[in-house]
């Protein structure tokens, strides 16, 4: 993964919904964390992302979206959460189905996916501090 910038995080989001899916996160596997954001804000009161996770850190931007490290508020574990634009939902769901079937030591474990509001995701991305 390449080092992300704030501009990279502002991927082409439209007025529709986006897909989020999470994987186990191993901090030792990535040394390019650039931005950090704490999710104590007014946005996303009905957002699973903001209700269930905290301490967001932008890891990177890939071909299908933006990836964050976030801490689950319930179990305290860190997860990699990939945000994908609606225009790429079909491809993202194919990736989700493949990851759900895989069980290999060299592949990150898939946990779950859900739909989030684009407005909430845009607000989250805008709150990431610049370096």
Q: Flag whether the pTM goes above 0.85.
A: no
Cα of 110 vs its chain's centroid, Å: 13
Give yes or no for residue 41 having a pLDDT over 60: no
* Distance of alpha carbon 86 from alpha carbon 75, whole angstroms: 29
| Domain extent listing, the chain | 6-126
Which CATH superfamily is 6-126 part of?
Phosphorylase Kinase; domain 1 (3.30.200.20)
Contact, 70 vs 81, CB < 8 A?
A: yes
The pLDDT value recorded for residue 85 is: 75
Q: What is the pLDDT of residues 66-85, one digit of tens each?
A: 888 889 999 999 998 888 87
């Amino acid at each position: 993964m390449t080092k992300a910038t704030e501009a990279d995080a502002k991927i082409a989001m439209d007025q529709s919904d986006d897909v989020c899916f999470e994987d186990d996160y191993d901090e030792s596997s990535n040394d390019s964390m650039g931005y950090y954001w704490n999710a104590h804000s007014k946005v996303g009161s009905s957002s699973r992302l903001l209700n269930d996770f905290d301490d967001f850190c932008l890891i990177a931007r890939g071909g299908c979206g933006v990836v964050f490290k976030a801490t689950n508020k319930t179990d305290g574990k860190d997860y990699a959460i990939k945000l994908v634009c609606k225009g790429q939902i079909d491809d993202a769901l194919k990736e989700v189905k493949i990851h759900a079937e895989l069980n290999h030591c060299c592949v990150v474990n898939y946990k779950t996916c859900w739909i989030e509001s684009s407005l909430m995701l845009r607000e989250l991305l805008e709150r990431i501090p610049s370096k």
